[in-house]
Chains A and B, each alone.
Chain A
Amino acid sequence: MPRIEDYETMTKISLTKEERGIVSGHMNMLLDSFKELGDIDVSGVEPLVSVLDITNDMRDDVAIKTLSREELLSNAPEQYDGYFQVPRTVD
């Protein structure tokens, strides 16, 4: 059985003891239900990534004006001198 704690580290989420109990309950129920998938013969079947039969529609390689620096920074929890501000990452 996979350990929830490993996935907490991976997803940068720290669960409380109570939350871990809830998530663990969901996980056990879901993993148990997923066993039925193992009975299906999928040999030779290609995975379905998108339901559309069309490929991604790429636009022309032409520069367009999108959001300004001010607009992009307007939702930043912290900013400094026109940049996103983060804690010190290099000692």
Chain B
Amino acid sequence: MGLFIENYNISGADAVALEDSIMEKGRGVTVGSRILKNFVSPFNATVVDRLLDNGFKIAGRANMDEFGLLKLSRDDDNMPTGAIRAVSDDVAAFSLCNDLFGRYRREATENDCCYIHPTYGTVSRYGLVPLASSMDQIGIVCKDLAQGFGLLSYISGKDPKDGAMFPESTYDYTKPAGEITLGVPKSVIEKADVDTQDAITEFIDGFANTEIDLEHFDLYSRVMYILSSAEISNNLSRYDGIKFGYRASNFSDLEDLYTKTRSEGFGPDAKSAIIMGAMMLSKDQYGAYYERAMKVRRLIKESIKFDRYNVIVLPCNIGDDPYENLSLYALSPLAGLPSVSFSYKGHGIQLIAGVKNEDLLLSTWEVCKA
């Protein structure tokens, strides 16, 4: 995977790379898919307006997996995504992207970067190509979490163009966070390799901590896939070759135009997600899968109480299977919780806090860096 789809040759401390899913007026936006071939955005995403209004510059459009989808098939391209490379290679100080399935959160820790996944409903999604709307969330790749939260303070806050946001117009991520007590899901951490377990043990020793049980953890990935594929199937139904994007060149009638356009325009992961999503939503399967998954989503959200603890610690890798690893990354989008991921002594660590409690995440990171 190349770093940029389009490189503006701008670098420096105020340079921000955009995943190719974020609208920028007058620029091509492909979301890594042929289905948006030749699409040129007629408007700026709200986050782009806010970056430009605050003196930041756009470094270029970073390459991505098609729609940022989970790759279920073996992938021989081991290069990190463009948004990660832009920051790790010091081409840009920050990248913005939509990390639904955890690839950015994992790759950040493997490439000397950090990732901030803000609370759902605090950063506008206006101008982000929709994937799974109940979970889509623009996040930040950075080298230093304090700087990353500095950038977040410029792009977060209520936007009238996004109908699902908290009312606050600004957020202060640097206010004193108070006492931190880490919740340690031992049974999950034990799935990581021994070196990672040792690093996490060392990490939690610097804090008050308590062992917790992440009820339904093994189901997180299942619920996430069912719900996201259903939403993806809906959101990707807009690509029909009529109003924008790719259109097949040879077709016999309107039906044939739709089918050839979508068959030629989407890649295998998008086709898998669309077909699985359609199945999850179909009359015969809805109750067994989609509705049940929405109910389990509630059980998962309500099982995270943040009572004896206020920050959850997780590893960033528990094996080679991306679907099983998804459980590590599904909690934030399923419950709308903020998280950060970073490398500690060479091993990826993820911290998750309660809604709008990003200050706890920054404080925890600052303690471990001290």
Measured CB to CB, the residues of A under 8 A from B are 2, 4, 7-8, 10-15, 19, 22-23, 26-27, 29-30, 33-34, 36-38, 40, 42, 45-52, 54, 56-59, 67, 71-72, 74-78, 84, 86-89
Binary CB contact string for chain B from 30 to 69 against chain A (1 if under 8 A, 0 otherwise): 0000000011101100000000000000000000000000
B233 touching A57, Cβ below 8 Å:
no
- For residue B222, CB closer than 8 A to chain A, the reply is yes
| Distance of A72 from chain B, by nearest CB (Å) | 7
A13 touching B266, Cβ below 8 Å:
yes
How many chain B residues touch A (CB < 8 A): the figure is 72
Task: Supply 13 A–B pairs (Cβ within 8 Å), ascending by A.
Answer: A2-B282, A13-B271, A19-B271, A26-B73, A36-B222, A40-B299, A45-B296, A47-B294, A51-B121, A54-B167, A57-B163, A72-B42, A87-B257
The secondary-structure label for the interface of chain A is loop
Q: Please judge, given known A-B contacts A23-B275, A33-B323, whether A51 and B219 are in contact too, CB under 8 Å.
A: no
Chain B residues contacting A84 (CB-CB under 8 Å) are 242-243
Cβ-neighbour of B296 out of A12, A26, A40, A49 (below 8 A): A40
Cβ-neighbour of A29 out of B72, B257, B284 (below 8 A): B72
> Considering only CB atoms, which chain A residue lies closest to B271 in the complex?
A13
Q: Please judge, given known A-B contacts A37-B293, A77-B241, A86-B254, whether A52 and B166 are in contact too, CB under 8 Å.
A: yes
Instruction: Tell me the residues in window 292-307 of chain B with beta carbons closer than 8 Å to chain A beta carbons.
Output: 292-299, 301
Instruction: Tell me the residues in window 158-205 of chain B with beta carbons closer than 8 Å to chain A beta carbons.
Output: 160, 163-167
Q: How far is the CA of A45 from the CA of B294 in the complex (A)?
A: 9
- For residue B278, CB closer than 8 A to chain A, the reply is yes
Q: How far is the CA of A56 from the CA of B133 in the complex (A)?
A: 13
The secondary-structure label for the interface of chain B is helix
> Considering only CB atoms, which chain B residue lies closest to A22 in the complex?
B268
Chain B residues contacting A77 (CB-CB under 8 Å) are 241-242, 244-247
- For residue B120, CB closer than 8 A to chain A, the reply is yes
Closest 7 CB pairs of A and B: A51-B336, A47-B294, A77-B247, A75-B244, A48-B298, A42-B295, A45-B295
| Most chain B beta carbons < 10 A, residue from A4, A13, A23, A71 | A13
Chain A residues contacting B40 (CB-CB under 8 Å) are 74-75
A23 touching B296, Cβ below 8 Å:
no
Chain B residues contacting A40 (CB-CB under 8 Å) are 216, 219, 292, 296, 299
Cβ-neighbour of A34 out of B39, B222, B262 (below 8 A): B222
Cβ-neighbour of B297 out of A48, A52, A54, A59 (below 8 A): A48
Chain A residues contacting B233 (CB-CB under 8 Å) are 11
| Most chain B beta carbons < 10 A, residue from A36, A56, A84, A87 | A87
| Distance of A91 from chain B, by nearest CB (Å) | 10
A45 touching B298, Cβ below 8 Å:
yes
Chain B residues contacting A47 (CB-CB under 8 Å) are 291, 294-295, 297-298
Chain B residues contacting A51 (CB-CB under 8 Å) are 120-121, 134, 301, 334-336
| Distance of A35 from chain B, by nearest CB (Å) | 9
> Considering only CB atoms, which chain B residue lies closest to A85 in the complex?
B242
| Distance of B173 from chain A, by nearest CB (Å) | 20
A46 touching B279, Cβ below 8 Å:
no
> Considering only CB atoms, which chain B residue lies closest to A39 in the complex?
B219
Q: How far is the CA of A29 from the CA of B229 in the complex (A)?
A: 15
Q: Please judge, given known A-B contacts A46-B298, A51-B120, whether A89 and B254 are in contact too, CB under 8 Å.
A: yes
Binary CB contact string for chain B from 220 to 237 against chain A (1 if under 8 A, 0 otherwise): 011101100000010001
> Considering only CB atoms, which chain B residue lies closest to A27 in the complex?
B276
B245 touching A75, Cβ below 8 Å:
yes
